[in-house]
Chains A and B, each alone.
Chain A
Amino acid sequence: MPHIALPDLPGIRGPMAFRPETAKPLNDLVDVLLRGPSSLTPGERELIATFVSARNDCRYCQTIHGAIAAHHLGGNEDLVLDVKQDPQSAAISYKLKALLVIAGKTAESGKLVTADDVARARQFGATDLEIHDTVLIAAVFCLCNRYVDGLATWAPDDPAFYRQRAALVAENGYAASTLTGPAT
């Protein structure tokens, strides 16, 4: 049961419906970061979000963003699992592997990211904007994960829920899906 009386919606959607004043900038931020113009694909960006949420052990966030990542990656749920378990041996680019190292360190503390980590990402073709967005995606999910678990929100068990929700978010975006999406 959530720590406070929230609308009966899963995960982050409960506190977002409870406090729309803060939900709006948060949704707008996540929309720009994960779906806005970027040289990282939406699938790559959702993998970073999923990886950080798994590191932070946030069940709702890693499951929903894993489902959205899989949706963007042609339904490849195995790849999402591989990235969560061991990104360095997953079938992803060297650039994304290097960015996930930066994301993993940011999740622990921003101070752990070294000049070497950044140099390595650059060596595999990462641009400054891609490095920036990786750090900010990782930082934003340290917010979302704590928001979701700090209020003890609930998360559905049925994988079908997340697949259906993922298709809706992939099509309409976060802000639109939160405000108008069906309360499944």
Chain B
Amino acid sequence: MAFRPETAVHLRALAEALLRGPSPLTSAERESIAAFVSSRNDCTFCYLSHRAAAAHHDGGDYTFVDTVTKGAGSASVSPKLRALLAIAGKVQQGGKEVTADDVARARAEGATDVEIHDTVLIAAAFCMYNRYVDGLATFTPTDPAAYDPMGKRMATQGYAGGRG
């Protein structure tokens, strides 16, 4: 990002709009979808940083995001979010994997068109960010604790201002 500021400014603006801008999904939910997709793509940096951001939208509590990323089928995740995660998981594999049935199931659990749209775009966007980070073999700390202050900054200050 620092290497190419011309593209970084728009990458940050996209993350800001997607994860912190107005949406019927909470930021904790959206960051959890981002962490879930990044985990599926095996992108350690994105997974751990967005996991920490999700937690800091929930007072620093990692319970919700860890439930979402480790067990999207868990009963403690709402049926609507479970249906949206199923869509996100398919987008991660390929856009064509998403079926009309997947979308109908999300709608039946109360998901709106904007929520379905945002889920698809968050999943697609993290298929980009994950490839960008790993395709350039960026430096990646492996200790989850190293990401906690980063996640706190992402949750409280956002993406548009500079680092993150």
Chain A residues with CB under 8 Å of chain B are: 3-5, 15, 18-19, 21-22, 24-26, 28-29, 32-33, 36-37, 56-58, 102, 105-107, 109-111, 113, 115, 128-129, 132-133, 135-136, 138-140, 142-152
CA distance A24 to B11 in the complex (A): 11
Query: 5 closest Cβ contacts across the A-B interface?
Result: A149-B95, A110-B134, A110-B135, A150-B95, A146-B124
Contacts of B4 in A (CB 8 A): 129, 132-133, 136
B interface residues, how many (CB within 8 angstroms): 46
CA distance A114 to B3 in the complex (A): 20
User: Could you list some 9 contacts between A and B, CB below 8 A?
Assistant: A19-B117, A29-B10, A57-B96, A102-B135, A105-B135, A113-B136, A139-B135, A142-B131, A150-B95
CA distance A133 to B87 in the complex (A): 29
Query: How far in angstroms is the closest Cβ of chain B from A150?
Result: 4
Query: How far in angstroms is the closest Cβ of chain B from A175?
Result: 10
Asked if B137 CB lies within 8 Å of chain A CBs, one says yes
Q: Is the CB of B123 within 8 A of A21?
A: no
Chain A contact surface mostly: helix
Quick one: closest A residue to B13, CB to CB? A25
Q: Is the CB of A15 within 8 A of B117?
A: yes
Query: How far in angstroms is the closest Cβ of chain A from B84?
Result: 12
Total cross-chain contacts (CB, 8 A)? 141
Q: Which of A36, A136, A146 contacts B120 (CB 8 A)?
A: A146
Asked if B94 CB lies within 8 Å of chain A CBs, one says yes
A3-B103, A36-B6, A135-B136 known; A147 vs B131 contact (CB < 8 Å): no
CA distance A107 to B91 in the complex (A): 14
Q: Is the CB of A19 within 8 A of B121?
A: yes
Contacts of B125 in A (CB 8 A): 143
Query: How far in angstroms is the closest Cβ of chain A from B22?
Result: 7
Contacts of B129 in A (CB 8 A): 139
Quick one: closest A residue to B7, CB to CB? A32
CA distance A36 to B9 in the complex (A): 14
Q: Is the CB of A111 within 8 A of B134?
A: yes
Contacts of A19 in B (CB 8 A): 114, 117-118, 121
Query: How far in angstroms is the closest Cβ of chain A from B27?
Result: 14
Quick one: closest B residue to A139, CB to CB? B131
Quick one: closest B residue to A131, CB to CB? B136
Q: Is the CB of A143 within 8 A of B127?
A: yes
Quick one: closest B residue to A33, CB to CB? B7
Q: Is the CB of B131 within 8 A of A110?
A: yes
Q: Is the CB of B124 within 8 A of A150?
A: yes
Q: Is the CB of B132 within 8 A of A110?
A: yes
Asked if B61 CB lies within 8 Å of chain A CBs, one says no
Instruction: Output the residue of A24, A136, A150 with the most chain B CB within 10 A.
Output: A150
Contacts of B90 in A (CB 8 A): 150
Q: Is the CB of B95 within 8 A of A147?
A: yes
CA distance A155 to B69 in the complex (A): 34
Asked if B116 CB lies within 8 Å of chain A CBs, one says yes
